[in-house]
Structure formats: C-alpha cells, structure tokens
Amino acid sequence: MADAAAARRLRAFRRWMRAHGVVCSDALSLDVSDPLGVHVRAVTPLRDGDLVATIPRGACLTPRTTGAAAAIEAAELGGCLALAVAVMYERARGADSQWDAYLQLLPDRESVPLVWPADEAECLLAGTELDKIVKQDREFLCEDWKECIEPLMLSGELDVDPDDFSLEKYFSAKTLVSSRSFQIDSYHGFGMVPLADLFNHKTDCEHVHFTSASDDSDSDGEDDDNQSDASVDDESTIENPTSSPPGSRANGEDLEMIIVRDVNEREEVYNTYGTMGNAALLHRYGFTELDNQYDIVNIDLALVTKWCTSIFSGRHTRARVSLWRNLGYSGCTSQDTEYFEIAYDGEPQLELLILLYIINLKPDVYDKLICVAHDFVSDEEHATICSVVKFIKTTSSNQNFEVNGLEKLPDVKKLLHSESICSTLLSLTDMRESLYGSSTLEDDEKELQACCIVNERKLYHSLVLRVSERRILHRLRKFASSGSKAKKRKHP
C-alpha cells in the first residue's frame, strides 16, 4: 500500500515537472522504493560534463514566488525564516498550491534532532556535540515563532487555518528548509529547488554539481560551515551560486545539474552538502556517515578551567587564562561557548596546548613571561607560530633546543608535547569522556553493530555520532599517553 502511494506521488511529480519546464534526463531514475527516502540512480553510464537536469527559477518555491510573497515582504521577513513561511503557506493551500505535487513527494518533516521528542533527544545525544545545540535551537525557534510567525498569522494577511501555522508546523517546515534549501541568487534568496533536492549526499564523492546556466565555473557544492554547531538558521545548506545575472527575476536563466564525476549504470547519483562532520550532518539533515574524517570533538574552555581550579586554584586559573588571552590567543566560539577542537586524528588545537603550557608554568617562569608578554603578540599565523617558539624558548629550562626551522604547526606542537601538558590532556580526556554516561566505547560499538538503520533510525545515527566522537577521544588519549607517565597522572 505504501509503495503504491509513493509510486502515485512520483507519477504526479513527473507530470508536475513537465508542466513547469523542469527537465530530468532519461539517464536518471527516481527511486521511491527505499524506506529511507528517494534515491536518484543512473539508468545508463554518465560522464563528466553531462547535463542531467534543468530547473527554471520560476519553478522554485521561494519567498518571491510563493502566494504569500506580499505578506512576507510586508512583515519584513528574510532568509530561512521567510522560506519556512512560504513552505507552510503552500502546504496549507493543498491542491490549490502551484507546488502541491512537489510538496507531496517530500516527507512531512525530516528526522533531525530538532523534532525528536525532547527526552529522547536528551538521552540519545548526551555528551555529543549536539547535546546543548539542539536545546538552544528549540528555544530560538520558539522565539522566532512567537515574535514573527504568530503575529503574521493573527494579522489576517494570510487566509489560512491557524493550525497550519502552528509551532509544530513551523518546526516541520524548518526541518525541510534546513535539509533541502539552496541559495538560488540575490533576488530569490533561499529556495526549495524541485528535483535538485532529491540527490542524496556523499562526502568527497559527489557526482553532480548544482549551478546556474550563466555560470562559467561549476559550484563546488561545499559549505564553509563544517562545524558541529551549524544552526538550522544558517545560510545555504548546499553552496550554490550566490549572485544572479543583472536584473534576474523569477524567469531568469535555468538552474542546472551537471555531472562532475563518472557514474556507472544503476549506481546512485550523489550531490554533496559540503565537507562537514557527523554532528553537522545529523543536525541539519538527519543522517550520519561511518568513518567521517571531518568529525571533530570539542573540549570547552569551561572544562579546562574546571580542571585547573580543581588542581590549582580559581585565582591561578584566572591569571593564567588572562595571560593566554593577553598573548593574543583564544578558542573557537559558538553562541556563548568557547571551545577547542580535537581533530579526527586525535590532535588537539594549538591554542589548547598553549593554554595548558601556560597553566602548568612554575610561578617564577610565569612571572618572567608576564614581563615580556607584549613582545609575542601577533595577528599573523606564521608570526604567531614564531612567537610561540620564542616564548617557549624564553620560558624553557632546556635552552639547547633548535629554534631555527620550526615554522610549521606540527613542529611547534612537538615542543608542547611535554609530560605536564600530556598529563593534563589525559585528565581532560577523562572529563570529556564522562559526559557520555556510564557506557563504554565498546558498549556503543556493539550496540551500533546490532542497530537497524531503517527501524531504529534515530538510535543508529546518534550511535554513529557517539562512536565517532569517542574514537577521537581514544586517539587523543594515545596522543597524550605518548608524552606522559600514566602512573603520575593527576585526576580531578
């Protein structure tokens, strides 16, 4: 029954594409039989440069093309918020909407953590990079709805049932916008691009790029924001041409899908949503990838200061962090959190190593560094590396190491691979690991192996994220253990 309904929706969508000038190559097949969603497959071999789809801009659902365009403009809504209103409005119109057959092909909502039951999300995401972010997302979106959507609905500008603009419907629309929207051009802004949004993602192995017919160069499909704190209010979920030809309007140049990597017959044809780790993929799109080399783990500055205070004192902590800042260093920031990244290979961010170096300095050496700190401040990356070498030389008891030639990040990190720093890293790893609860990495790995991606989708993807993060912490532990004597490790 479900397969028959899906087939009917697909036939209706094909008729819709023909009626609206959307051209899908006969070399592509849209497969709706998979319970995980639509897949685009190659009917025949495809080669680099083949044009496989064209989509008129007027066929795209945007804040400019929707029937709610005037109300959106009057309310001064923009970006993804405006697009979410457009999606809700056209869904509310049902069969009267120009995009009804397209919207019927889409799920009601994407299975992203934003719309998971709160208690389930808290349990599944505990300790991960998404734990706090999803809670913040809900708060921000509730504020958006209260401040922007509800007043628009109550104004009477839109002749729709209030239930179609409820908070729940807004969350659903936001999941579609987060996971499927493209930035089309400067006129349309963000939009839903029928057919183009049916291509699934594969990191670094995409077959197609989305571009405009007027572009001389293909879009690379990569998103600059590959961090785990990607918000559902961020910009384009897939990087596309951000500028339109002069005077571009709803009927400007067609958008195109062009093959950039050969595809064999019957293979799935993939797009790319950018180079991002599993936290960002799950957050925005509702899925993860095994062995994702863009995964990272964050260690919050607050965790570092908590450890430092437990070993030394609050005064010691404040003084050492202050000197670190005065030397021109800081961590990464997202919203109200400052943190340090641990790379996929387990190597910590340089700024964290420098902070731990300063924290562990003996008082007399610390006082010496205070006096000359102004000599080491620099905004340029190469000069920053040189300044690190200089102040390590200034504060080190070993005055015989070679400074010349230490111009690369790995070389500088070797200088900071001391026993005290590595011992601290091990303690921080223990603290960060504890956030996942009582289960071990081995427990999570066994549970993941037994998990069914179709029937236990939320559990499966949250486990992929947990396992990947905990493996990174395992690599960090190996990195730190090589420079520390475990028996001398201090525990908080």
Cα(30)–Cα(43) distance, integer angstroms:
10
Q: Which single residue is written with the structure tokens 């943190």? A: 339
pLDDT of residue 370: 85
Angle 106-107-108 from CA coordinates, rounded to 5°: 115
pLDDT exceeds 70 at position 407: no
Q: What is the pLDDT of residue 379?
A: 56
Report the pLDDT averaged over residues 308-322.
96
Report pLDDT digits (tens) over 150-165. Answer: 999 888 889 889 999 9
Token pair 């863009």 is found at 294
Residue with tokens 């003996």: 362
CATH of 1-213+253-285 given 3.40.50.1820, 2.60.40.10, 3.90.1410.10, 3.90.226.30: 3.90.1410.10
What's the burial of 445, exposed, middle or buried (CB within 10 Å: 0-12/13-18/19+)? middle
Tokens of 314: 């609050």
Helix ranges restricted to H, 200-336: 278-285, 301-311, 314-326
Tokens of 435: 């956030």
Rounded to an integer, what is the distance from CA 427 to the centroid of its chain? Answer: 28
Half-sphere exposure of 158 (CA within 13 A, CB side): 30
Q: What is the pLDDT of residue 467?
A: 98
Compute φ and ψ for 340, nearest 5 degrees: -125, 140
CA 174, CA 439: separation in Å to the nearest integer? 33
Mean pLDDT, range 131-156, rounded to an integer: 93
- Could you give the angle at the alpha carbon of 376 between the alpha carbons of 396 and 389, nearest 5°? 40
Burial of 442 (0-12, 13-18, 19+ CB in 10 A): exposed
Is 173:84 a contact under the CB 8 Å cutoff? yes
Quick one: tokens of 475? 């690599």
Task: Give the model's pLDDT for residue 228.
Answer: 32
Residues 6+ apart with CB under 8 A from 490: 311, 423, 427
Task: Compute the C-alpha angle 354/357/359, nearest 5°.
Answer: 110
Say whether pLDDT at 128 is over 70.
yes
Closest by alpha carbon to 469, among 423, 433, 434? 433
Q: What is the pLDDT of residue 230?
A: 32
DSSP notation for 84-113:
HHHHHHHHHHGGGSTTHHHHHHS-SS---G
Asked whether the beta carbons of 406 and 412 are under 8 A apart, the reply is: yes
Radius of gyration of the chain (CA): 26
**pLDDT at residue 238, rounded to an integer:** 31
According to the model, what pLDDT value does residue 315 have? Answer: 96
Q: pLDDT tens, 280-293?
A: 999 999 999 999 99
Q: Left, alpha or beta for 263 (phi > 0: left; psi -120 to 50: alpha)?
A: beta
Residue 231 has pLDDT above 80, yes or no: no
Position 415 scores a pLDDT of 76
Q: If you average pLDDT over residues 362-374, what whole number do you get?
A: 83
Report angle CA 457, 459, 464 to the nearest 5 degrees.
95
Q: What pLDDT is attached to residue 490?
A: 45
Check: CB of residue 433 under 8 Å from CB of residue 472: no
What was the pLDDT predicted at 380? 56
Would you call 298 helix, strand, or coil by DSSP?
strand
- Report the chain's mean pLDDT, rounded to a whole number: 85
**Statement: residue 121 has pLDDT above 90:** yes
Q: CA 22: distance to chain centroid? A: 30
Q: How confident is the model at residue 398 (pLDDT cuts 50, 70, 90)?
A: low
CA distance 193 to 87: 12
CATH says 297-489 is which class? alpha beta
Residue 226 has pLDDT above 80, yes or no: no
Q: Look up tokens 């008729």; give the residue.
A: 15
- Residues 365-371, mean pLDDT to the nearest whole number: 84
The confidence score (pLDDT) of residue 409 equals 58
Asked if 392 and 368 count as a contact pair (C-beta separation under 8 A), the reply is no
pLDDT bracket for residue 216 (50, 70, 90)? very low
Neighbouring CB atoms inside 10 A of 266's CB total 11
User: Does residue 273 carry a pLDDT above 80?
Assistant: yes
Handedness of CA 195, 200, 201, 202 (dihedral sign): negative
- Name the 3-class secondary structure at 4: helix
Name the least confident of 3-7, 98-102, 409-413: 409-413
Q: 259, 203 in Cβ contact below 8 A?
A: no
Q: What is the pLDDT of residues 436-487, one digit of tens each?
A: 999 999 999 999 999 999 899 999 999 999 999 999 999 999 999 987 654 4
User: What average pLDDT does this structure show over 381-390?
Assistant: 58
Report the pLDDT averaged over residues 336-362.
94
* In the chain, domain spans: 1-213+253-285, 297-489
